[in-house]
Amino acid sequence: MNEQPKPKKQIGAPLNRVDGHQKVTGAATYSAEYQLPNMAYAVLVGSTVTKGRLTGLDTKAAERAPGVLAVISHLNAPKPPGPKPEGKDPSQPQTQGNPLQVFNDDKIRFNDQPIAVVVADSWARARYAAGLVKAQYAKEKHETNLEANADKAFLPTAAKKNPKHPMNDYQRGQVDAYKTGAVKLEAEYVIPTEVHHPMELQAITAHWEAPDRLTLYDKTQGTMATRRDFAKQWGLPEENVKVIATYVGGAFGNALHSWPHEAAAVLAAKVVNRPVKLMLTREQMFTMVGYRPYTWQKLGMSATPDGKITGITHESIGQTSTYEEFTEATLAQTRMMYQSPNVTTRYRLAALDIGSPIWMRGPGEATGAFALESAMDEMAYLLNIDPLEFRLRNYTEQDPEKNKPWSTKFLKECYQLGADRIGWSKRQLKPGALRDGDWLIGYGMGVGTFGAHRGAATVSAQLLPNGTVLLQCATTDIGPGTGTAMTQIAADTLGISPDKIRFELGNSSFPKAGTQGGSSTVNSVGPATQEACLALKDKLRTLAAASNPAFTSARKEDVTMQDGYLTVGGNKDTRVSYADVLKQAGGTTVMVEAKPGGEGQKYSMYSFSVHFAEVRVHQLTGEVRVSKLVSCADAGTIVNEKTAGNQMKGGAVGGIGMALMEHALLDDRFGRYVTKDLADYHVPVHADSPAVEVAFVNQPDPHVNALGTKGIGEIAIIGVAPAIANAVFNATGKRIRELPITPDKLI
Amino acid sequence: MNQFQYVRPTKQQAAIDAVAKDATATFIAGGTNLVDLMKRGVMTPQKLVDINRLPLTRIDADPGKLRIGALALNSTVADDKQVRERQPLLALALNAGASAQLRNMATVGGNMLQRTRCSYFYDTTMPCNKREPGTGCGALEGINRMHAIFGFSDKCIAVHPSDMSVALVALDATVQVSGPKGNRSIPFAELHRLPGDMPQKDTTLEPGELITAVDVPDGPFTKHVHYQKVRERASYAFALLSVAAALDLDSNNNIKAARLAMGGVAHKPWRLTAAEQALVGKPATEESFRQAAAIAMQGAKAFQHNAYKLKLGPNTIIQALKTAASVA
């Protein structure tokens, strides 16, 4: 037998992105870049009041403007046959109230709510005409301030209706036990509204290819979800709607939802009977495609003098809109991260006259971790114990919320890796003890965790005549490098080089997959890719058996693909050419669905991370610079060291923004944001970010899936902001409980 | 954006005539601010007179002064050898402004004429006396954390946003202007005005007047200079507050002359002459700087969200002077 050299293992290797060249050369086509014949362009007109009714809409000047094809508003919009918007239906899942209803009535529910869309033969003409639309309103008093509405906060309807819903109050042990603890603290924390602001603006091109067939080139994190939403709205069979999102230029969560602008483009395309392109402005990105909700939190904690936590009570009020109940897992980490016999959590919503929020990277867990991990630091100071040591004394060896063993947990290993790399031993417990001239130096840490979620996914695999294996799946890639990771998984499973694999995604016509969100894509699509590749091998084995009986009894794992031939384990005598295999009837295509098994019943499955920050705070100007940031993760198997590291770094930079500058400021008198562009709404620039150091434990989790992955996207940011806030305290002795930590709060 | 006419004259007089004779016309150079304002409907000129073809880009190193053409790019000036040697404070201030991309487009004349970045000025649905006289000041009782602590009126509390202007006012620059009535010079400190009852008027320029150059006289401030800009991120952000500081020290480290100006505190770049005078003859020590900073802040008054500037102001002055003094 001629042994072939074993192909290099791809899983874990730092493979360059398979679509990197397209992206950096501009060859990648994003949703705003599709050019269809006879295309028209749409620009939205937004309400300038925050609450009330539209009493008049003068569209005459706009309609007469050059190139204008239509001005659509509630006065003339066709009514899609789908679910009616009236009467908020609390039985609907969260964020599926009536997001798609535009131009349906004269009600104004938030400032900049689309009240009309102008369609013209060019974008410039549409924009000009949009400026000519004049609206009159009957204003009503609006509420946009969370603190002022805290007394009206309520338990989410879904929780009221279902006592098992996770948004219900949680109780372990004694209620509010911290109040009688030996050493106790009670503090309030605030996270302001933060906006996703991916580089790519939200854009859609809607094309009715026939009266009952719709194609959308759309910025979405879920091609299947968008397809479902629009099929439902227009009363179409799902297969009549096609959603294409081959490339997505970042999203961070704001393309997890279908939004009014998408519905407006679909309506407009129907009215003018031409493909219609609609792209939001940066200003509109603040108002109509979600944000991380402003959240007030109160955390009480008690401990024994030797550092054992005896009680935690964590309460929060998050902002939602008046027409949808958006909830997120703000309090989840508090229930399972530390060993405490008594834990109480209470989650409430305040409905404000602002557009709906949506999950923003790390979502609620990142918000909650700011309070929990800040409080852990505060308690360590009260106890005069090193904050890392304090966390170790309350480490959980099994999930105290679900009373189940962890599938895997290597958080202690992360602590060690991170502490070594940041130089935690240099840290002084006493604030302000380290300095470099006028710069005060401090160290802080923050812990993050997120469920290792896995959903069902289907992948198809096919051998092409040129020897390439084509894999397809409807999943999207919003930036983590999904296609690259899947190529590596396929390469190892098939035993062929990555350049012989093409993984196509971002199309709802491909085999189905869930939305890219919640750190779940590799966990879900990864095993489907693996199983599809194994099924392909088996299929090829069967087909090859017609030419060479050696394949009849071969195992699928032994089918070797090389240089245009199949062999059994590399034995040249068994060679069958791809051409011969492809001649067989039926083709090579296989399609496999991979679903999670029952492991979730037995184990509690989470990814973990810890972030260590070194900051410098100028004692005169109050400026904060993050001089060092180390992020360590237990995320199971790392499929690609480079793209995974890239995700961790991106999350860490997002955490710097959260900690130090991101803040969508709203003037409550008008209900309008005063930060309307990226000059006023600050995200970090290169000079704000140190070279983030990343370390992975890289131990497979045998229970999530056969690959051993657990997910990275969220834990990259969860815990970063408190690490920085804690470092600021260590540097200055000032505890900032309301983000962002700007110079005015420190001088 | 509204429709507008566009002309691109090659003669200075033609450009001036085009604007002087048409109240709806305005000059455009780099356009880094004006185009944004037009897109948002804050400024709605009917005619743009593009001056980029006028020969105003030169930087002349004359005896006793630098003459910087109004169309010299911010990046060109900041990198110019003569500027760096003779007026290093100006180079520092220019490089603290905007981003590399913007500095490559923005001109010196345009930089000093940029409009305030007050959010209420930028939003045409909100009240703003500067944009639309008589509608009120949205910032007065609104979100005013970026706003003025000196020289404001009840009509307007906006601040002038330029970094370059802070250095130029400290360096006693002079603006050369050409207009329908001929040429004139304006001391830099008199170019920008306080809002008073007419916040819609940013400067003392008359209709049709074109800035052709700025003269920066030579002085002893070639070594001990610093531009301290405090902002929420390390680059590409307007100042919460900034300080331009220049010192002339004798061999005993005593102050022979000082220049001091603040940005982000008033409707114009805010020269601190009383504090400068207080420094002369004093040793270059933190104590002297502290006393000068206290003098500089006399008369400052804060609003709901900008009280931090009352402390950030003196702190930044001290830090700027400390750094300037220690520059070898």
Tens digit of each residue's pLDDT (9 = 90 or more) over A658-693: 999 999 999 999 999 999 999 999 999 999 999 999
Helix, strand, coil proportions of chain A in percent (round to 5)?
30, 25, 45
Q: Which residues contact A122 (CB under 8 A, 6 or more apart)?
A: A41, A67
Q: At what angle do helices A641-660 and A720-732 cross, to 10 degrees?
A: 50
In terms of DSSP bridges, do strands A343-352 and A276-279 run parallel, antiparallel, or are they unpaired?
unpaired
Question: Cis (ω within 30 of 0) for the bond into A740?
Answer: yes
Question: Could you tell me if B4 lies within 8 Å of chain A, comparing CB atoms?
Answer: no
pLDDT at position B3: 85
Last residue of a domain, one of A544, A570, A595: A595
Q: Within a domain: residue A15? A: no
Tens digit of each residue's pLDDT (9 = 90 or more) over B185-207: 999 999 999 999 999 999 999 99
**Mean pLDDT (whole number) for A469-481:** 97
Q: Within a domain: residue B303? A: yes
Name which of B119, B125, B235 is nearest A680 (Cβ-Cβ).
Answer: B119
- Residues A211 and A314 reside in one and the same domain: no
Check pLDDT > 60 for residue A131: yes
Name which of B1, B123, B230 is nearest A676 (Cβ-Cβ).
Answer: B123
- Chain centre to alpha carbon of residue B20: 24
Last residue of a domain, one of A570, A595, A620: A595
Q: Determine, for residues A625 and B234 on separate chains, whether the beta-carbon distance falls below 8 Å.
A: yes
B-chain CB neighbours of A747 within 8 Å are 308, 311-312, 315
- Shortest distance between the Cα of B235 and any Cα of chain A, in A, equals 7
H runs (alpha helix) in A295-429? 332-336, 363-383, 387-393, 411-422
pLDDT at position B328: 55
**Mean pLDDT (whole number) for A483-506:** 97
Last residue of a domain, one of A565, A595, A625: A595
Q: Within a domain: residue A25? A: no
Tens digit of each residue's pLDDT (9 = 90 or more) over A267-288: 999 999 999 999 999 999 999 9
Q: Determine, for residues B125 and A48 on separate chains, whether the beta-carbon distance falls below 8 Å.
A: yes
Beta-carbon count within 10 A of B124 CB: 14
- Residues A183 and A221 reside in one and the same domain: no
Report percent pLDDT > 70 for chain A. Answer: 97
Q: Determine, for residues A743 and B230 on separate chains, whether the beta-carbon distance falls below 8 Å.
A: yes
Q: What is the domain-level CATH number for residue A732?
A: 3.30.365.10
Question: Could you tell me if A48 lies within 8 Å of chain B, comparing CB atoms?
Answer: yes
* Bridge partners, residue B25, by sequence: B47
Name which of B125, B145, B315 is nearest A620 (Cβ-Cβ).
Answer: B315
Q: What total number of domains does chain B contain? A: 2
pLDDT at position A587: 86
Check pLDDT > 80 for residue A93: no
H runs (alpha helix) in A242-307? 260-272, 284-287
Q: Within a domain: residue B77? A: no
Q: Within a domain: residue B78? A: no
- What gap in Å lies between CA A598 and CA A586, rounded to an integer? 34
Minimum CA–CA partner of A680 in chain B: B237
Tens digit of each residue's pLDDT (9 = 90 or more) over A570-629: 999 999 999 999 998 888 899 999 999 887 789 999 999 999 999 999 999 999 999 999
Q: Determine, for residues A747 and B315 on separate chains, whether the beta-carbon distance falls below 8 Å.
A: yes
Cα B30–Cα B36–Cα B110 angle in degrees, nearest 5 = 30
Q: What is the domain-level CATH number for residue B22?
A: 3.30.43
- Residues A464 and A404 reside in one and the same domain: no
Which residues of A does the annotation mark as catalytic?
714
In which order are the strands placed within the sheet that holds A183-191?
A: A170-172, A343-352, A309-321, A295-303, A183-191
Q: Where are the beta strands (DSSP E) in A619-699?
A: 624-634, 666-667, 672-673, 693-696
- Kindly report the three-state secondary structure assignment for every residue of A378-389: HHHHHHCCCHHH
Selected residue with higher pLDDT from A5 and A79: A79
Question: Could you tell me if B318 lies within 8 Å of chain A, comparing CB atoms?
Answer: yes
**Mean pLDDT (whole number) for B70-93:** 98
pLDDT at position A186: 98
A-chain CB neighbours of B43 within 8 Å are none
Mean pLDDT lowest for which of A98-102, A238-242, B254-258, B288-292? A98-102
Q: Within a domain: residue A537? A: yes
Q: Which residues contact A583 (CB under 8 A, 6 or more apart)?
A: none
Q: Determine, for residues A622 and B120 on separate chains, whether the beta-carbon distance falls below 8 Å.
A: no
A-chain CB neighbours of B120 within 8 Å are 674
A-chain CB neighbours of B228 within 8 Å are 621
- Residues A606 and A741 reside in one and the same domain: yes
Q: What total number of domains does chain A contain? A: 3
Q: Determine, for residues A674 and B123 on separate chains, whether the beta-carbon distance falls below 8 Å.
A: yes
- Residues A718 and A618 reside in one and the same domain: yes
**Mean pLDDT (whole number) for B226-252:** 97
Q: Within a domain: residue B37? A: yes
- What gap in Å lies between CA A280 and CA B100, rounded to an integer? 26
**Mean pLDDT (whole number) for A425-453:** 97
ipTM of the complex: 0.97
- Residues A276 and A352 reside in one and the same domain: no
* Bridge partners, residue A565, by sequence: A562, A577
Report percent pLDDT > 90 for chain A. Answer: 93
pLDDT at position A597: 87
**CB-CB contact of B294 with B318 (8 Å):** no
Check pLDDT > 50 for residue A91: no
A461, A505, B26, B29 from A592: Cα distances, Å: 8, 15, 66, 61
- Residues A135 and A166 reside in one and the same domain: no
Tens digit of each residue's pLDDT (9 = 90 or more) over A5-47: 566 899 999 999 999 999 999 999 999 999 999 999 999 999 9
Minimum CA–CA partner of A438 in chain B: B319
pLDDT at position B287: 97
Amino acid at B231: R
pLDDT at position B95: 98
pLDDT at position A5: 56
Give me the domain span that covers residue A72: 31-141+199-250+255-287
Which of B135, B157, B238, B315 is the best mutation test for A, with the most CBs of A within 10 A? B315
Check pLDDT > 50 for residue B279: yes
Take residue A575 and report the two structure tokens written for it: 């060679």
Q: Within a domain: residue A357? A: yes
Q: Determine, for residues A685 and B240 on separate chains, whether the beta-carbon distance falls below 8 Å.
A: no
Check pLDDT > 70 for residue A99: no
B-chain CB neighbours of A130 within 8 Å are none
Q: Within a domain: residue B263? A: yes
- Residues A662 and A532 reside in one and the same domain: no
- Residues A320 and A405 reside in one and the same domain: yes
- What gap in Å lies between CA A665 and CA A679, rounded to an integer? 13
In terms of DSSP bridges, do strands A107-108 and A183-191 run parallel, antiparallel, or are they unpaired?
unpaired
In which order are the strands placed within the sheet that holds B65-69?
A: B59-62, B65-69, B210-217, B174-179, B182-187
Q: Determine, for residues A618 and B120 on separate chains, whether the beta-carbon distance falls below 8 Å.
A: no
- Residues A544 and A653 reside in one and the same domain: no
Amino acid at A447: V
Q: Which residues contact B248 (CB under 8 A, 6 or more apart)?
A: B219, B220, B221, B224, B255, B256, B257, B258
- Chain centre to alpha carbon of residue B191: 10
Output the average pLDDT for chain B.
97
Name which of A665, A675, A685 is nearest B233 (Cβ-Cβ).
Answer: A685
Last residue of a domain, one of B49, B67, B85: B49
Check pLDDT > 90 for residue B1: no
- Residues A618 and A714 reside in one and the same domain: yes
Check pLDDT > 80 for residue B45: yes
Q: What is the domain-level CATH number for residue A127?
A: 3.90.1170.50
- Residues A361 and A489 reside in one and the same domain: no
A-chain CB neighbours of B236 within 8 Å are 679, 685
Q: Mark A320-335 as b/e (b = at least 16 C-beta within 10 Å).
A: bbbbbbbbbbbbbbbb
Tens digit of each residue's pLDDT (9 = 90 or more) over A702-713: 999 999 999 999
Check pLDDT > 60 for residue A92: no
**CB-CB contact of A74 with A106 (8 Å):** yes
The candidate with the shortest Cα–Cα distance to B263, out of B136, B171, B160, B151, is B160
Q: Determine, for residues A621 and B228 on separate chains, whether the beta-carbon distance falls below 8 Å.
A: yes
pLDDT at position A6: 63
Take residue B7 and report the two structure tokens written for it: 């002309």
pLDDT at position A88: 47
pLDDT at position A81: 85
Q: What is the domain-level CATH number for residue B302?
A: 3.30.390.50
Give me the domain span that covers residue B295: 224-326
- The phi-psi region of residue B269 (left if phi > 0; otherwise alpha if psi is between -120 and 50; otherwise beta) is beta
pLDDT at position B255: 98
